[in-house]
């Protein structure tokens, strides 16, 4: 008990510290898991349209992307589970990974845990407090999601099935929290631990995809595959939830054991060291430093963009027939049912979604300048003969480069896979034109991020909030009848949805000009203000 002494007080400290952060995470994830429930009837359509969707969802490409169809009776509850549970689980997993890293390895890297360990607390108290916190978070998320889904009163989405669905999400989230508690003991820094945990999430997704298509045994090796075997709204099996919880508790226990064995600030794996005695010439400039600090995150997100674009490409073989049979989807993408060709509008909608994902590494790059400042490391850079303007320009230039590369990967990944599954392959020029139609939106949000870093670094959350709002307004706009003028308040909604709408240069040039103005204004503010202040 001495090893975990004072863990309740440390848990209280974490809750006070994250009194806004944690509720926002829980509410946002619960909304994502439940927000589509009231619209699922419209998505399903008539029984004939449901049968068309069921045939499409049996396609191995759709099974690999979304999950298995576990019932011959394709009800609305089964359809919602197949369409949403894997994607919801990915978001829940990311939430758990980031929260655990934040309160373990990040606190350790920044010296806060060393101060705590100097007090009369147990050696394992902080990790024990984090473990209890993650159990509580996933339990609350499961309760909110389960009762939230059932509250809409949709046919076949009953309370029993909703609770099983939500419990599977919570158990899956707890597994990734426990896995991260183990990973942080192995690696020497928060950055390495985060990268490995997210890579493990990607690997388990691929294992689930392969298993769902080819092998039930392999699918059960991944929590993302195991959670589908609860079969919500059909048999409501609880045994996969129990298995995931037991494995999670075992991983948490292993993490506590390993935490006792290692030194503070070190990892169980030896840190790889470069054979170089001196840094390369590339690191002598601001661009080189910027790339070195952000390359892991950028590469990981660009790979994610490519994988998502390729995954969307796999559905093009069956998506056209489904859209033709679904009035709701026709309304969402804004296509006329009598139109002879819906490929262009369909590619536009999918490219829009991937473009929003590509905005994440752009904002991450812009905000890296702020995070380095908050951690006090930028003092050592600007204290030398380094121009603040050149340093700022390095981050801004890299953000622009990331935006361009993200859209190239967006278009190429989608086109490469779509052409292999379509009877009449989509033109590569059409795909690239659609992707680069949305480039100014990425650059505008990157410019907004740089402006916030220059003038109000404590408000960088506004950039993320604006991106989320843009996604909800633009993507959900066709479904919930959001007025067009509201969509135009977002950069993605301001641009014309070519080729569905006639292309106009004015919004395109306007957003590009606004991005330049924001970056220039941020540079002026960053050059004038003191480091460490808003």
Comparison of pLDDT for 317 and 193, the residue scoring more: 193
> What integer is the mean pLDDT of 497-523?
86
> What integer is the mean pLDDT of 463-474?
83
Q: What is the pLDDT of residues 384-402, one digit of tens each?
A: 667 788 888 888 999 999 9
Q: Under a CB-based contact definition with an 8 Å cutoff, are residues 450 and 400 in contact?
A: no
d(CA 521, CA 517): 6
Provide the pLDDT for residue 368. Answer: 86
Q: Residue 70: pLDDT band by 50, 70, 90 thresholds?
A: confident
pLDDT surpasses 70 at 328: no
> What integer is the mean pLDDT of 134-138?
94
User: Which of the 8 DSSP states describes residue 263?
Assistant: P
pLDDT surpasses 60 at 480: no
pLDDT surpasses 60 at 331: no
Q: Under a CB-based contact definition with an 8 Å cutoff, are residues 226 and 220 in contact?
A: yes
DSSP conformation letters of 422-452: -SSPPPHHHHHHHHHHSHHHHHHHHHHHHHH
d(CA 199, CA 307): 13
- Cβ burial 511-524 (10 Å sphere, 16+ → b, else e): beebbeebbeebbe
CB atoms within 10 A of CB 421: 16
d(CA 402, CA 408): 10
d(CA 350, CA 329): 12
Q: Which of 95-109, 126-140, 309-323, 455-469 has the highest mean pLDDT?
A: 126-140
Closest CA to 350 of 415, 405, 288: 415
- Please classify residue 216 by burial: count the beta carbons closer than 10 Å to its beta carbon, then call 0-12 exposed, 13-18 middle and 19+ buried: exposed
Q: What is the pLDDT of residues 85-122, one digit of tens each?
A: 888 898 899 899 989 998 888 888 778 888 888 888 88
Arithmetic mean of pLDDT over the chain: 82
Comparison of pLDDT for 113 and 223, the residue scoring more: 223
Provide the pLDDT for residue 312. Answer: 75
Q: Which of 213-227, 330-344, 424-438 has the highest mean pLDDT?
A: 213-227
Q: Under a CB-based contact definition with an 8 Å cutoff, are residues 184 and 101 in contact?
A: yes
Q: What is the pLDDT of residues 39-63, one digit of tens each?
A: 777 766 677 767 767 776 776 767 7
> What integer is the mean pLDDT of 143-152?
91
Provide the pLDDT for residue 172. Answer: 93
- Distance, first Cα to last Cα, the chain: 44
Q: Residue 534: pLDDT band by 50, 70, 90 thresholds?
A: very low
Q: What is the pLDDT of residues 8-38, one digit of tens each?
A: 888 998 899 888 888 888 888 888 888 778 8
| C-alpha separations of 490 from 298, 486, 514 in Å | 24, 8, 13
Q: Under a CB-based contact definition with an 8 Å cutoff, are residues 93 and 173 in contact?
A: yes
Provide the pLDDT for residue 140. Answer: 94
d(CA 530, CA 534): 8
**Three-state DSSP state, 121:** coil
Q: Is 67 left (phi over 0), alpha (psi -120 to 50) or beta?
A: left
d(CA 473, CA 330): 17
> What integer is the mean pLDDT of 423-442?
84
User: What is the longest distance spanned by two Cα atoms in the chain?
Assistant: 73
The pTM of this model reads 0.79
């Amino acid at each position: 008990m001495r090893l975990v002494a004072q863990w309740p007080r440390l848990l209280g400290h974490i809750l006070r510290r994250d009194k806004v952060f944690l509720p926002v995470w829980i509410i946002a994830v619960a909304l994502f898991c439940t927000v589509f429930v009231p619209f699922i009837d419209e998505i399903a359509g008539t029984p004939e349209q449901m049968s068309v969707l069921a045939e499409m969802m049996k396609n191995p490409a759709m099974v690999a992307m979304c999950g298995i169809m576990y019932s011959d009776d394709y009800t609305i509850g089964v359809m919602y589970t197949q369409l949403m549970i894997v994607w919801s689980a990915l978001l829940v997993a990311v939430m758990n990974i980031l929260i655990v890293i934040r309160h373990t390895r990040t606190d350790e890297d920044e010296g806060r845990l060393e101060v705590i360990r100097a007090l009369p607390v147990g050696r394992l108290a902080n990790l024990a407090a984090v473990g209890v916190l993650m159990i509580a978070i996933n339990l609350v998320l499961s309760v909110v999601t389960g009762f939230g889904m059932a509250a809409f009163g949709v046919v076949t989405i009953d309370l029993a099935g909703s609770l099983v669905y939500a419990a599977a999400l919570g158990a899956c989230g707890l597994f990734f929290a426990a896995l991260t508690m183990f990973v942080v003991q192995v690696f020497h820094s928060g950055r390495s631990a985060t990268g490995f945990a997210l890579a493990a999430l990607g690997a388990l997704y691929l294992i689930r995809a392969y298993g769902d298509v080819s092998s039930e045994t392999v699918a059960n090796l991944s929590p993302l595959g195991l959670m589908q075997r609860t079969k919500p709204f059909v048999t409501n099996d609880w045994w996969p939830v129990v298995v995931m919880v037991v494995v999670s508790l075992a991983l948490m226990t292993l993490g506590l054991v390993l935490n006792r064995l290692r030194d503070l600030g070190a990892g169980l794996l030896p840190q790889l060291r470069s054979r170089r005695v001196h840094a390369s010439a590339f690191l002598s400039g601001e661009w080189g430093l910027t790339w070195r600090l952000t390359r892991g995150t950028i590469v990981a997100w660009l790979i994610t963009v490519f994988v998502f674009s390729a995954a969307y490409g796999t559905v093009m073989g069956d998506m056209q027939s489904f859209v033709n049979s679904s009035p709701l989807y026709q309304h969402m993408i804004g296509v006329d049912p009598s139109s002879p060709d819906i490929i262009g509008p369909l590619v536009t909608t999918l490219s829009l979604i991937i473009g929003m994902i590509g905005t994440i590494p752009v904002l991450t790059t812009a905000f890296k300048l702020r995070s380095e400042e908050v951690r006090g490391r930028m003092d050592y850079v600007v204290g030398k003969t380094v121009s603040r303007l050149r340093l700022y320009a390095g981050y801004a230039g890299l953000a622009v480069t990331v935006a361009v590369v993200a859209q190239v990967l967006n278009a190429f990944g989608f086109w490469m896979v779509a052409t292999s599954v379509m009877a009449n392959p989509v033109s590569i020029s059409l795909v690239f034109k659609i992707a680069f139609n949305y480039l100014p939106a990425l650059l505008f949000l990157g410019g907004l991020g740089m402006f916030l870093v220059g003038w109000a670094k404590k408000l960088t959350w506004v950039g993320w909030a604006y991106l989320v709002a843009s996604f909800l307004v633009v993507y959900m706009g066709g479904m919930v009848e959001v007025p067009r003028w509201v969509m135009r308040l977002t950069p993605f909604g301001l641009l014309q949805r070519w080729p569905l709408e006639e292309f106009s240069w004015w919004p395109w040039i306007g957003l590009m000009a606004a991005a330049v103005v924001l970056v220039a204004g941020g540079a002026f503010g960053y050059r004038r203000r003191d480091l460490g202040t808003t």
